[in-house]
Amino acid sequence: MQNLNIKIGGQAGQGLVSIGTILLRAATQEGWYLFAHQDYESRIRGGHNFFQIRLADRPVASWENDIDVLVALDEATITRELEEVKPGGVVIYDPDVLGPDAQKLAEQSNSIGLPFARMAEELGQPKIMGNAVAAGAVWALLSEDLTELHETLALMFSDKGPAIVQGNQQVASAGFARVRELLGERPRPGKPANPGPRLVLRGNDALPLGALAAGVKFMSAYPMTPSTGVTEFISEHGRRAKLIMEQAEDEIAAINMAIGASYTGVRAMTATSGGGFALMTEALSLAGSAEIPIVVVNAMRPGPSTGLPTRTEQGDLRYAVAMSFGDFPRAVLAPGDVEEAFYLMAHAFNLAEEYQMPVVVLSDQHLADSYTTVPPFDLSRVEIKRGKVVSGEEAGPDYLRYRFTADGISPRLYPGFGQGLVVAAGDEHDEHGHLIEDAETRQKMMEKRMAKQKLVEENALEPVLCGAEDAELMLIGFGSTKGAIAEAVEMLNSRGIRAQGVHLPQVFPLPQGLEVLLQKPARKFIVEGNYTGQLEELIASRFAWKPDGSIRRYDGRPMNAKYIVDRLPGGVCHG
């Protein structure tokens, strides 16, 4: 496989996301597959952030440590990231932002000093177009000509008018020419033969797209990193899909608004992170008791408390599974990549409506903010199952919202759709929905609701496998570690170790198929992004089982193949 890793480092507000976005679009247009992840601080200006793009000639699912092209918009990129550059890698830096020491460091490598902003100004353009200079400079290492880059700039700046488009194209050409002049012809990363149409999206794009495909009609949310992208996406695109997105005064209001909308019969959701999810848990219990479908995206970030707001962790698993006070049916899904995020999000609405319960979709900052090349989503694969719903006529005037049924699912009537009245309550209630105190009804109602949990479990999504079936080593994970595990498995297999990856798209209830896998003779390792081993605990308590070892990360950074393989016991990799 041919790979090229580009890392753009700089301060918040300097435009590294612009450069990164220009490059990833142009590179996709040119045919490459890519994976791009972002690392940023909880601030709007200053600090040190990076945007890292991995280009490849086939689909890639994770990131790599070694950098081929480093673009330095600030001094910290040189002082902190230089050692990641491979021998022979290229460093493109802005000499105007470097102190003498950093300048000396930068000059030692295979490097080019390009004063991005100054070059833009010398060409009669505003400083901000220094970003396009940088993009053009990197592009010289990727492509023979500027066609795709110019097209991308035209597309991205079309709403700003032709002068801005031409200005960006002009300065990008200058950056391109300068690098070409200084470095001459260099080998370029190979491209796939027939890449075909693709999308390049983040988890925070795929999740709301999945919701739109599922026919979500109402969303309410309160901004919180890293979930805000979901909310902004729906705000931007939802109106066309005749969808209401109301920004709430707090997360409590957000989920309760969505529950109110859902009660009337529309698909409704909210999205949040960390403390916002904590505020929503009271209402999740209401949805459980009143049997109102609701889908909540929790884009995890490291806790406890405010933790590391802009970074990644899988530390809310236990909390999402426990979800709230009291016993009620629920499901927790954990998409592992952009494509899965789209289809699982749509599936979440089906689950929520078929079983009339809350469903939590666990994302995290790494999935939320990382771009991946994916095949176009297939809407015909998105089946909409609204569960048991009766018309006004079928319901009749004596409709019972919580009618006792064999499977515990009482058909829904949407209020106002018939003569029957729809009485829903979070207080314990009878079949009518009216409040009760008696023990017998309480017990029956509890058993009715919990009967649904059994069905949810029977229909749980099975593990997604990769690698060797006759594995001697198994890596088990959930959520955004999927790509890292898949690539670790590849790495191990290429070293002659028969490895298999097990990704769990549904973490609660766990699928029964997992038990079969756990009985395989392979040595099993749980890979997860939290301190206490929350997945391990979940699996252990469900199947009375213990792994052979665990690999955990809780420094706020995403895993990749190297991280996992480096942490396997010595005997595994070298034995």
Of 349-368, binders to other proteins (CB under 8 A) are: none
Which of 23, 271, 317, 422: binder of other proteins (CB under 8 A)?
A: 422
Q: How far apart are CA 62 and CA 52, in angstroms?
A: 11
Alpha-carbon distance 66 to 87, whole Å?
A: 9
In the complex, what is the shortest distance from the CB of residue 562 to other proteins, in angstroms, rounded to a whole number? 29
- Please name the residue that has the structure tokens 């960390």: 274
Compose the 15-34 pattern: x for residues touching other proteins by CB under 8 A, - for all others. ----------x--xx-x---
Of 124, 162, 416, 569, the residue at the interface with other proteins (CB under 8 A) is 416
Tokens found for residue 71: 């673009």
Least distance (Å) between residue 446 CB and other proteins: 18
- C-alpha 209/C-alpha 479 separation (Å) is 18
Amino acid occupying residue 490: E
Measured from the CB atom, the residue of 183 and 266 that comes closer to other proteins is 266
Tell me: does residue 446 bind other proteins (CB under 8 A): no
Return the range that interacts with other proteins (CB under 8 A); candidates 194-202, 460-468, 471-479, 483-491. Answer: 194-202
| 130-142 and 147-156 helices, crossing angle to 10° | 150
Q: Does position 376 bind other proteins by CB under 8 A?
A: yes
| DSSP state letter for 343 | H
Q: Which of residues 465-504 bind other proteins (CB under 8 A)?
A: none
From 392, 511, 415, select the one nearest 460 (Cα to Cα): 511
User: Does 384 interact with other proteins (rule: CB under 8 A)?
Assistant: yes
Q: Is 56 in the site for other proteins (CB under 8 A)?
A: no
Least Å distance between CB 89 and other proteins? 27
> Which strands form 358-364's sheet, in the order they lie side by side?
244-247, 218-221, 268-272, 294-300, 358-364, 331-333, 506-508
Do residues 409 and 416 make contact, with C-beta atoms less than 8 angstroms apart? no
| Under rule CB under 8 A, residue 191 binds other proteins | no
Please pick, from the candidates 434, 454, 495, 546, the single residue that binds other proteins as defined by CB under 8 A: 434
The contacts of residue 264 (CB under 8 Å, 6+ apart) are 414, 415, 416
Per-residue mark of binding to other proteins, 223-252 (x: CB under 8 A): --------------x-xxxxxx-x-xxx-x
Of 84, 121, 232, 282, the residue at the interface with other proteins (CB under 8 A) is 282
Least Å distance, CB 369 to other proteins, is: 16
Regarding 207 and contact with other proteins (CB under 8 A), the answer is no
Position of tokens 């901004």? 223
Number of residues counted as binding other proteins (CB under 8 A): 71
Measured from the CB atom, the residue of 163 and 241 that comes closer to other proteins is 241
Could you tell me the smallest distance in angstroms from the CB atom of residue 560 to other proteins?
Answer: 25
Contacts of 105-110 with C-beta under 8 Å, sequence gap 24+, read 105/78, 105/79, 106/72, 106/78, 106/82, 109/82, 109/85
Q: Which is nearer to other proteins, 255 or 475 (CB)?
A: 255
Q: Which of 95, 115, 215, 549 binds other proteins (CB under 8 A)?
A: 215
- 435 touching other proteins, by CB under 8 A: yes
Q: How far is the CB of 79 from other proteins (least distance, A)?
A: 36
Our finding on whether 186 is near other proteins (CB under 8 A) is: no
| CA dihedral sign, ordered 359, 364, 365, 367 | negative
Complex with other proteins: residue 179 or 258, whichever CB lies closer:
258
Q: Which is nearer to other proteins, 98 or 259 (CB)?
A: 259
DSSP per-residue string spanning 23-83: HHHHHHHHT-EEEEEEE--S-SSEEEEEEEEEEESS---S--S-EEEEEESSHHHHHHHGG
- Asked if residue 189 has a cis previous peptide bond (ω within 30° of 0), the answer is no
Q: CB of residue 165 vs other proteins: minimum separation in angstroms?
A: 18
Neighbours of 45 (CB within 10 A): 8
DSSP result, 447-514: HHHHHHHHHHHHTPPPPEEEE-TT-SEEEEEEGGGHHHHHHHHHHHHHTT--EEEEEESEEESPPTHH
Q: Which stretch binds other proteins (CB under 8 A): 171-179, 254-262, 449-457, 488-496?
A: 254-262
Residue 415 near other proteins by CB under 8 A: yes
Amino acid at 211: A
Stretch of 108-116, 131-139, 422-430, 505-513 lying at the interface with other proteins (CB under 8 A): 422-430
Q: Is-contact 292 262, C-beta < 8 A? A: yes
Shortest CB 493 distance to other proteins, Å:
30
Q: How far is the CB of 292 from other proteins (least distance, A)?
A: 8
Q: Kindly state whether residue 574 participates in binding other proteins, applying the rule CB under 8 A.
A: no
Contact pick of 259, 361, 475, 514 for other proteins (by CB under 8 A): 259
Six-digit token string for 420: 């029957």
Q: How far is the CB of 440 from other proteins (least distance, A)?
A: 18
* Interacting residues with other proteins between 288 and 327 (CB under 8 A): 290
Please, what is the minimum distance in Å from the beta carbon of residue 410 to other proteins? 15
Looking at 9, 426, 467, 501, which residue binds other proteins (CB under 8 A)?
Answer: 426
Q: Among 299, 280, 277, which Cα is nearest to 225's? A: 299
Distance CA 297, CA 544 (A): 29
User: Closest CB to other proteins among 80 and 432?
Assistant: 432
DSSP-based three-state secondary structure for 129: helix
Q: Which stretch binds other proteins (CB under 8 A): 73-81, 215-223, 295-303, 485-493?
A: 215-223
Residue 299 vs 422, nearer CB to other proteins? 422
Q: How far is the CB of 423 from other proteins (least distance, A)?
A: 4
Question: By C-alpha distance, which of 83, 88, 29, 37 is closest to 64?
Answer: 37
Instruction: Verify binding: residue 254, other proteins, rule CB under 8 A.
Output: yes
Burial 48-76, CB ≥16 within 10 A → b, else e: bbbbbbbbbbebbbbbbeebbbbbbbbbb
Least distance in angstroms from the C-beta of 9 to other proteins = 26
